[in-house]
Structure 1
């Protein structure tokens, strides 16, 4: 599908309320590094809506039966992209826990040939089952038809598993033979960064920089976070909301690395909390 370099790049970000700051960092990185007009749309899995700049949130066509099967707040929303594009054109789907370092137009313009969508091959270590990583996808929306209600009926009957669907394993593809092509894997680097990385994906839910200190590539996330704050794209209200709701760690503003001062401050907070618990017990 040949596209003009002036065609806006359509990007869907799968997200939820708990992903407020991470998705805003991703959106900032997309715009900072793009030479093209971007049409960014955000799935909010908490509210079952899709949000777009300048428009009111709209409900998405996902049944509650399917919504409640999400492993994260947003796992199944990527499969709604072709229908929401009216089965026309192309679109990129990505998760919110990422930072984009390349020009996303490069991925959007990738030659898809006759493939339905492109994804990361052998994403989870298997060299035999071709476990596809769907956290970044380039989708030909005209070709691709997903039917989530049917898939989850078949999962419930034991025809294949949830993992088979989300990794496009042979047991799923035997019944739904999508043609899948390969993206450049540097467009979905799992917890890794080098000079060729175009997108870093913070996949480990326990070590993501906004949840834990000292991620080996967490300084990069904080660079974009601080720039987004300085530009006004991330507001003080956004940060306070994320803190009050415990979406991020309490010491988020102290950055990625431990220092003696930050260690002492955390120790003091923990000691005070422990003393309060002891006092409450004896009362």
Structure 2
């Protein structure tokens, strides 16, 4: 295939994720052999926006039970694309370390509608690729996805029970926090543990200087892998040297208060914090 790669990225609507967005785009274009088209998916107060949300009036997207400000957007991508072609979804907290055309040009097997990381009943859709036409028969109407605060969880459960619709791709297209692999083996690094995100030291400082707070309200720790911290910092510096600017990713008008689930008790993942029993000491030191 030589067509344009369509990328949909879930990100914050209050300028919290600017560093993530810039590194994602720079790293994506750095390695891409085909043209790419990025759609930033952010909650909006603009009624004409596909991502419009006015929770106090019960209009648009209902993010009440989402972990992030964009959790439920991924299920609407086939509808956004008018159920035509294919589309790749990814969270904003990724660094692309390979040519995205490799994933884009992977053929769908008969009967599969989405590619993701996993197997059996354990699947992760935080990086995924849709066959938009094939997905139409299996997704609820768009207004139901938007208006049902439980839609995100219902759809995760639906695919957990209909795994025959999912095609496993190379696990390195969604490498979670390194997973013990060297950097040169990783195709897409997803620094998924929100508490240890590689961008926090930059974004928290920037937001604090502006009198603002990050959307994540849980405890923040250093990522356990120094090489991944250095990798993010290097790509951030490269992007700036190449003429990228955080200003290019700022929204015209910040969304303001996001109605979503609190992450004050967020426990991260076993990759960054090790196997844990859930107690305070294991959370703090079992990383």
TM-score with structure 1 setting the length: 0.66
Structure 1 residue 188 corresponds to structure 2 residue 199: no
**Change in CA separation of 1:132 and 1:214 when aligned onto 2, cut-off 3 Å:** closer
**1:86 Cα offset (Å):** 1.2
Structure 1 residue 35 corresponds to structure 2 residue 26: no
The residue that corresponds to 1:201 in the other structure is 190
Query: Tell me, what secondary structure is at the counterpart of 2:199?
Result: coil
Structure 1 residue 138 corresponds to structure 2 residue 129: yes
The residue that corresponds to 1:11 in the other structure is 7
CA shift digits 1:144-193 (9 cap, x unpaired): 1222654688886xxxx95563365545x3xxx76111011000000004
| Among 121, 124, 127, the residue aligned to 2:118 | 121
The residue that corresponds to 2:239 in the other structure is 228
CA shift digits 1:23-76 (9 cap, x unpaired): 11101100001111111111013x267xxxxxxx93337754533332200001
Q: Distance in 1 between matches of 2:143 and 2:238?
A: 41
**Change in CA separation of 1:183 and 1:83 when aligned onto 2, cut-off 3 Å:** same
Superposition RMSD on alpha carbons, in Å?
3.0
Q: Distance in 2 between matches of 1:185 and 1:191?
A: 12
Q: Distance in 2 between matches of 1:224 and 1:207?
A: 18
| Among 10, 22, 25, the residue aligned to 1:24 | 22
| Structure 2 residues not aligned, in runs of 5+ | 54-58, 202-221, 251-255, 257-287
Could you tell me whether the CA contact under 8 Å between 1:15 and 1:73 is conserved in 2? yes
> Which of 1 and 2 has greater Rg?
1
**Change in CA separation of 1:15 and 1:167 when aligned onto 2, cut-off 3 Å:** farther
Output aligned runs, 1:1-283, within 5 Å: 4=1, 6-17=2-13, 18-45=16-43, 47=44, 58-60=49-51, 64=60, 66-114=62-110, 115-122=112-119, 130-145=121-136, 146-147=139-140, 150=144, 163=153, 165-166=155-156, 170-171=160-161, 173=162, 179-192=165-178, 193-194=181-182, 195-212=184-201, 213=222, 215-216=224-225, 217-235=228-246
**1:234 Cα offset (Å):** 2.2
Query: Tell me, what secondary structure is at the counterpart of 2:134?
Result: coil
TM-score with structure 2 setting the length: 0.65
Query: Tell me, what secondary structure is at the counterpart of 1:59?
Result: coil
Query: Tell me, what secondary structure is at the counterpart of 2:195?
Result: coil
Choose 227-236 or 33-42, whichever is displaced more.
227-236
**Change in CA separation of 1:111 and 1:90 when aligned onto 2, cut-off 3 Å:** same
